Amino acid sequence: MSNLFAELKTPITGTYKQPTGLFINNEFVEGVDKKTFEVVNPTTEEVICSVSEATEKDVDIAVAAARKAFDGSWHHTTPQQRGVLLTKLADLCEKNLDLLAAVESLDNGKSITMARGDVGAVAGCIRYYGGWADKIEGKTIDISPDMFHYTRQEPLGVCGQIIPWNFPLLMLAWKIGPALATGNTIVLKTAEQTPLSGLVFAQLVKEAGFPPGVLNIISGFGKVAGAAISSHMNIDKVAFTGSTIVGRAIMKAAASSNLKKVTLELGGKSPNIIFNDADIDAAVSWVNFGIYYNHGQCCCAGSRVYVQDGVYDKFVAAFKKRAEENKVGDPFHHETFQGPQVSQLQYDRIMGYIQSGKDEGATVETGGGRHGDKGYFIQPTIFTNVTHEMKIMQEEIFGPVCAIAKFHSEEEVIQLGNDSAYGLAAALHTKDLNTAIRVSNSLRAGTVWVNCYNMLHHQLPFGGYKESGIGRELGEAALLNYTQNKSVAIRLGGPLF
Ligand code: ADP
């Protein structure tokens, strides 16, 4: 087998052919400098394979390919044809669901059940934006009988997209769907921790019939390929999902290069509020899902849990029992809920936060340590007696660690919930409709869930208030991040100036 493919195996698919090159112009190629890096299996801590690493030179080549496609083949494609291609790509994701999900579990460590759910959502998202492709419309605006005015929603051009490792395929779908539907071309960099599923997906892009250069997918590191994208003079827009600290760096790079447009989906420290009148069994279930889904590696994880004093003891006891029942282990076991964290670095960061919670005097209700003796597994952890100033209540942990505090009044919990630099998501649990609406409207967050959690959908916009980001992904709202408005004014008659 050429060095651009590796023969790998998963328990679901058996042996399969894993592309390892950079996907540029619909072909897998080596990087100019022929650099590679190792991809590690977080379940076993063993190397899976090596993939090509993109440097600045490869980013230049990918951008040139994307620019050529934008000005040429993609420009001449009708909106309807773009829609058909996206729909075909969605169909191919469904046809290859087992393979894509298995590669995601292998590389990221998420359970196969969750990975299958992710791939289903990938297909749904891409199909949804396929439906939008021929519905991107301008307006005619009547100003004067002597003039004809209309607006157009035009694509931005070449978009750089930088995605994280927590939902490798889903974040890819959220990014490419609206960008392609609106007629842009793309250079997308996957996260260095999880490049494999994006490369398998790339084969489907070609199979669906997208012209070369429309969607280029490269593997590489943030400081090299990511920085080259955000500071590139020939990229018109950068879309990023990841940490707030990197988001700032990307915005600075965009500002000091060509002022490319920027959308950011960043961190969170989302409050999850349980009122006295909540259905406690249901709330326990959603709080558990809110923090431990995807091993806590969600930007919208419900990591700050506020419980009203009347139900505090009952809730904590039931939640502790529930957290201890979560099945932690091999991602390929069908009953597993929680697999390993993605990397040694993430494992160490999370364990550092757990130590800080202990040092600052919070109570470990359950967990607080390593699970097993191999792989980056961490026990589902609950801290109680957490005060507002503690690091575990303030900072994004991005792991299976939940901080619980007691509150008394609605005003108090709104103030606590909003007292954060972040504003990505929030949730509340109550049977009172007035409380539900009043509190939802008072929380400064891009998404508020009532009596549920993590109920994201491609039809519904998602994004952050405050330091959680700029712009919205998903829904119709995302289209605005990938188009610009052109006004055309045509003189029909009337006096000359
Ligand atoms: P995490 O800290 O959770 O790994 P990051 O925000 O560091 O998340 O990474 C998310 C994505 O951003 C990855 O694709 C990574 O390669 C990329 N990235 C990291 N640093 C930079 C940077 N300075 N410029 C551009 N992209 C970056």
The pLDDT score that the predictor gives to residue 3 is: 82
The DSSP result for 19-75, as a single string, is E-SEEETTEEE--TT--EEEEEETTTTEEEEEEE---HHHHHHHHHHHHHHHHTTTT
Ligand 1 centroid to residue 324 C-alpha, Å: 32
Q: Quick check: pTM over 0.85?
A: yes
Q: Which atom of ligand 1 is nearest to the CA of 253?
A: 24
Asked if residue 19 lies in contact with residue 55, where contact means CB atoms within 8 angstroms, the answer is: no
Please tell me if the CB atom of residue 222 comes closer than 6 angstroms to any atom of ligand 1: yes
Please tell me if the CB atom of residue 5 comes closer than 6 angstroms to any atom of ligand 1: no
> Can you list the domains of the chain with their CATH numbers?
5-266+471-484 (3.40.605.10), 271-458 (3.40.309.10)
Task: Among 37, 55, 162, say which to mutate for ligand 1: greatest number of ligand atoms within 8 Å of CB.
Answer: 162
CA–CA gap between residue 194 and residue 198 (Å, rounded): 8
Q: Which atom of ligand 1 is nearest to the CA of 246?
A: 6
**pLDDT digit string (tens) for the chain, length 497 residues:** 568 999 999 999 999 999 999 999 999 999 999 999 999 999 999 999 999 999 999 999 999 999 999 999 999 999 999 999 999 999 999 999 999 999 999 999 999 999 999 999 999 999 999 999 999 999 999 999 999 999 999 999 999 999 999 999 999 999 999 999 999 999 999 999 999 999 999 999 999 999 999 999 999 999 999 999 999 999 999 999 999 999 999 999 999 999 999 999 999 999 999 999 999 999 999 999 999 999 999 999 999 999 999 999 999 999 999 999 999 999 999 999 999 999 999 999 999 999 999 999 999 999 999 999 999 999 999 999 999 999 999 999 999 999 999 999 999 999 999 999 999 999 999 999 999 999 999 999 999 999 999 999 999 999 999 999 999 999 999 999 999 999 999 999 998 98
Active site residue 265: yes
Pairing verdict, β 483-491 and 147-155: antiparallel
The pLDDT score that the predictor gives to residue 350 is: 98
Buried b / exposed e over 400-437, threshold 16 CB at 10 Å, is bbbbbbbbeebeebbebbbebebbbbbbbbbeeeebbe
For the CA atoms of 218, 50, 37, 24, the dihedral, rounded to the nearest 10 degrees, stands at -20
Asked if residue 75 lies in contact with residue 259, where contact means CB atoms within 8 angstroms, the answer is: no
Q: Which residue has the tokens 């960099």?
A: 189
User: What are the strands, taking DSSP E only, across 367-412?
Assistant: 381-384, 401-407
The pLDDT score that the predictor gives to residue 497 is: 86
The pLDDT score that the predictor gives to residue 2 is: 64
What tokens does 131 get?
């439906």
